[in-house]
């Protein structure tokens, strides 16, 4: 936890692909297609119709409801791990098997996965963009919010 941050809440989720991670939340309320939506070379969101177009997912805890579109999403996630531009972890509202697959294959091939947690609605929508999150293998998500500067 960064110095000066205050532990705010502990959320219990389902570890779809279990693992530990920490990072700053990148939050979208919109689903996204990884293929055609995120560059596996740079980690940039390249779906120009998406509200986060231009943002970089690398090292962030990427929070979005679920994936959509192309079944090539798993390949984009695997390649982004190999290229070192993957998100630190993913938090979804519902299980997305294609994203889980990308993370599991990455684990089998490179012994490195992207942890994925599914949270129920009230927890999911309580995460704000910029929150610092830690994720534990049992699906626990800890939200740390920066102290108010007011």
Partner 1 sequence: MAVKLSKSDKQMLGCQQGKATRTAIRILMRMAEVTGATEMMDVSQGHIDGCGLLSDAGLEFAETLAANGGKVSIPTTLNMGPLDLQNWKQFGVGEEFAAKAIRQAKAYVDMGCIPTWTCAPYQGYLTPRFGQQIAWGESNAICYANSVLGARTNRYGDYIDICAAITGRVPKCGLHLKQNRKGQILLRLLDIAPSVMRDNAFYAILGHLIGSLARGKIPVIEGLPPDPTSDQLKALCAAAASSGSVALFHAIGVTPEANTLEEAFHGEDPEQVIGIRLPDLLKSMSDLSTAGEGVALDLVILGCPHFSFDEFRQLTVLIRAETEQGKSLHPDVKFVVTSSQTSYALLQRSDFLDVLTDFGVEITLDTCVFHTPMVSPETKVIMTNSGKCAYYAPGELGAAVAFGNMADCVRSAVEGYVCRKEMFWKES
Q: Which residues bind partner 1 (CB under 8 A)?
A: 16-17, 31, 33, 35-37, 40, 46-49, 66-76, 78-79, 81-82, 94-95, 97-98, 100-102, 104-106, 108-110
Buried b (16+ CB within 10 A) or exposed e, 59-95: bbbbbbbebeeeeebbbbbbbbbeeebbbbbbbbbee
CB neighbours (10 Å) of residue 140?
14
Q: Which is nearer to partner 1, 88 or 93 (CB)?
A: 93
Provide, rounded to whole angstroms, the least separation between the CB of residue 81 and partner 1. Answer: 7
Q: Which is nearer to partner 1, 49 or 122 (CB)?
A: 49
Provide, rounded to whole angstroms, the least separation between the CB of residue 145 and partner 1. Answer: 30
The residues pairing with 104 across neighbouring beta strands, listed in sequence order, are none
Q: Which is nearer to partner 1, 12 or 128 (CB)?
A: 12
For this structure, is 33 an active site residue? no
Q: Which of 28, 39, 70, 80 is catalytic?
A: 70
Helix H segments across 17-120? 73-82, 97-110
Q: How many Å from the N-terminal Cα to the C-terminal Cα in the chain?
A: 21
Q: Which residues are catalytic?
A: 70
């Amino acid at each position: 936890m960064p110095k000066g941050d205050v532990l705010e809440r502990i959320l219990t989720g389902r570890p779809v692909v279990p693992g530990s991670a920490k990072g700053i939340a990148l939050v979208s309320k919109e689903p996204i297609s990884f293929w055609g939506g995120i560059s596996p070379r740079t980690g940039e969101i390249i779906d120009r119709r998406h509200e986060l177009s231009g943002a970089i997912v690398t090292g962030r805890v990427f929070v979005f409801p679920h994936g959509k579109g192309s079944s090539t999403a798993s390949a984009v996630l695997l390649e982004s791990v190999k290229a070192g531009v993957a998100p630190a972890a993913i938090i979804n509202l519902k299980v997305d098997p294609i994203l889980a697959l990308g993370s599991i294959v990455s684990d089998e091939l490179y012994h490195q996965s992207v942890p994925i947690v599914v949270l129920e609605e009230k927890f999911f929508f309580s995460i704000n963009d910029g929150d610092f999150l830690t994720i534990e293998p049992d699906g626990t998500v800890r939200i740390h919010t920066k102290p108010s500067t007011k």
